[in-house]
Amino acid sequence: MKPFTTLTSVAAPLLRDNVDTDAIIPSREIKSVSKAGLADGLFAGWRYTEIGGREPDPAFVLNQPACAGAEILLSGENFGCGSSREHAAWALAEYGIRAIVAPSFNPIFRGNCVRNGIVPVALPAEVVAGLVGGPVTVDLEACRVIGADGASHGFTLPEEAREMLLHGLDAVDLTLRHREQIAAFVAADRRKRGWAYLD
């Protein structure tokens, strides 16, 4: 994964509560188990004028010129609710979304974001609404979000999640940071239970 330290970007305001994973990536858009090829299906039910089509709906926020190239998404309460499909985070990441700022997240979706390099920032609804209309900075090192007006808002993330995002680590990379302790455990266990190991 790409490390995340500080990002300044246009922030696309999708200020809806309970945006579920089927809205983020409808099941009809999931045609493989790969992480690739999902960006076109992101918000397909809202982004295009007809189901299954690819004619952009100019009313949808990501299709508006002011939100072109947005890497930050602003949204409402309980973002990522519904099914636990990781494809939702994959589609957002492939589209280019690096951070989502919302009052709350479904816990499974929040974990999927972290494992796919997307920073899930929880801030009060009134603060999220105040970020609309200008570039937003997400500073993961300082755990601050700075709006176009210069107002700075602190947020928290579990330290392990923050470390994974800051250093671009997936769960395997995180485990391998302890390879010396793992090797020492295996060596000690092999001495005690040699019968359990194939040579």
Q: Which domains does the chain have, with CATH numbers?
A: 6-168 (3.20.19.10), 170-199 (no CATH)
**pLDDT-derived band at 198, boundaries 50, 70, 90:** confident
Q: What pLDDT was estimated at residue 127?
A: 98
- The encoded tokens of residue 94 equal 């492939």
- The encoded tokens of residue 194 equal 């040699």
Model confidence pLDDT, tens digit, residues 69-122: 999 999 999 999 999 999 999 999 999 999 999 999 999 999 999 999 999 999
- Residue 168: which of 134, 117, 131, 118 has the closest Cα? 117
Strand ranges across the sheet with 72-75: 119-122, 99-102, 72-75, 6-14, 135-139, 144-146, 152-154
Q: What pLDDT was estimated at residue 18?
A: 98
How many Å apart are CA 17 and CA 107, to the nearest integer? 15
Q: What pLDDT was estimated at residue 16?
A: 98
DSSP H or E stretch at residue 44? helix 44-47
- The encoded tokens of residue 121 equal 């920032």
Bridge partners of residue 12, in order along the sequence: 73
Q: What pLDDT was estimated at residue 33?
A: 81
For 14-52, b/e burial (b = at least 16 CB within 10 A) is beeeebbbbbbbbeebbeeeeeeebbebbbbbbbbeeee
Residue 110 to residues 75, 145, 181, Cα–Cα distance (Å): 14, 18, 29
Model confidence pLDDT, tens digit, residues 8-57: 999 999 999 999 999 999 999 998 888 999 999 999 999 999 988 999 99
